[in-house]
Structure 1
């Protein structure tokens, strides 16, 4: 298998890269909205999907009618849904048991796992500019981790859950990227969400969480922003890029989360944090240059 990138770069839409960036600007809103909701963390993940699902199915209907999945693709979509449910459950639980900074760092390690997969498993050799972008992004991420990460025994349970979430999300993205070779993005997102939602509800009930909310606003915003817009843009864009480029873009999320913490929770950004954010931003510019050449 030479590459997991299903779409040809020759016909890449002009909006594909902006969609990838916008997705990673919107998705970091998720932890804030989970904290603001009045249900359990896994229940919040369930409502994120359940509220979005009718809209996703409506958007997916034309594509599913025009290009129904094959038996193998149904299996891949079911696997993607199971992985996404496990990812959300682990990450939302981890947010409760550790600091938000820790959860953000570990939950977004897929930004490093994806390039590692491309280099070690797919044997994809990055171009010179891509290698420079990956190095710069890794340095920036490590700087942000060093500035925000707090290791302690009390946080260990949450840290491990968020690390598991990062691994599961990497696997989910790889399955989705493979399915994007033929299927439309809304078809993939709708079917995988339909698989994820009941699994999350069952897990929330098993944990004894409060499921019915008293205040719907945070959950509605979570569904519209994270699942429909954020995940929708990411599912669309991921079909046009290699795991290396997707991984670099995912490293934008910790930077955005740090900025949100500064704006919403008065968590001060040090000059070192700003340097890390600047390195990630520069990497996103560099990783785009080869495709413009």
Structure 2
């Protein structure tokens, strides 16, 4: 018998879960670069290895997925969108800087509030507009020297921006189905669908890894833990807070780049990271009216 948390207790952990999940995802670009397989293969293995673990966790937790066809269709859409997101992102990671790949792929930070404004009819308060402005300033500063747009990195930058569009579709689809499907079953089914979509493309390149460590890091750290926490959190948070929480990733990636690749953070980059944190805090302030 599974133990269900009360709604208020469950929602209380949504924001820290979102931040932790985003932090786990921040190490994805490094693992993609360290993998000894093609970008499509690393995306496939991330999904294929994570799917059975997520299904097992879903069974242990006791979440039951709905068998209604509309929910199944949305999950397939989520899986397809996530597969396209990973395909575009993994290609982009190898064609642009580490900072650019993370920063541009997280353009969902601004696409999600736009979705809330246009599709859901939500109105942004002054604090929310301020949070978006502070976040934009932080992102610009985090670009720094290593993330500048250039013809050399243009293809990778465009791929990462395309990944952000597909990731926004994935998050919206997951949020839509969460009323009928619990978090872990939803993520497990979407992951399984994404692996099926990626398989025909993955086998055309370098497919079998010699070193499984980066692949397991992507499957367990990024997909099971990172995405698992994010899927749990999206049901309880607004699109703005979800989008701003994703900005944790470029801040951490900048630190990883400094440690692993010698991309030392300057005062502008450190200021950008501070602004990202400030934007997250502003987004959590209570709204008047």
- Give TM-score, length-normalised by structure 2: 0.91
Partner of 2:195: 197
| Secondary structure of 1:13 counterpart | helix
Q: How does 1:135-284 map to 2 (within 5 A)?
A: 135-205=133-203, 208-284=204-280
Gaps of 5+ in 2: 1-6
Contact map agreement 1:64 1:187 (CA 8 A) in 2:
no
| Secondary structure of 2:286 counterpart | helix
**Larger helix proportion of the pair:** 1
Contact map agreement 1:137 1:280 (CA 8 A) in 2:
yes
Separation (CA, whole Å) in 1 of partners of 2:284 and 2:10: 13
Q: Residue deviations 1:269-291, cap 9 Å, x none? A: 11011111101101111212228
Bigger mean CA offset, 223-232 vs 58-67: 58-67
The Cα shift of 1:238 comes to 0.6
Separation (CA, whole Å) in 2 of partners of 1:180 and 1:24: 19
Contact map agreement 1:252 1:280 (CA 8 A) in 2:
yes
Partner of 2:45: 47
Separation (CA, whole Å) in 1 of partners of 2:198 and 2:263: 31
Which of 90, 101, 104 matches 1:103? 101
> Root-mean-square deviation (CA), in Å?
2.0
| Secondary structure of 1:289 counterpart | coil
1:112 and 2:116 aligned: no
Aligned length: 282
Bigger mean CA offset, 149-158 vs 23-32: 149-158
CA 134–212 in structure 1, closer or farther in 2 if over 3 Å, else same? same
1:124 and 2:104 aligned: no
Partner of 2:13: 15
Q: Residue deviations 1:162-201, cap 9 Å, x none? A: 1110111111111111111232110111000111112212
| Secondary structure of 2:153 counterpart | helix
Gaps of 5+ in 1: 1-8
Contact map agreement 2:71 2:180 (CA 8 A) in 1:
no
Separation (CA, whole Å) in 2 of partners of 1:75 and 1:150: 39
| Secondary structure of 1:282 counterpart | helix
The Cα shift of 1:69 comes to 3.4
Separation (CA, whole Å) in 1 of partners of 2:166 and 2:273: 25
Partner of 1:4: none
Separation (CA, whole Å) in 2 of partners of 1:74 and 1:25: 29
Separation (CA, whole Å) in 1 of partners of 2:144 and 2:63: 49
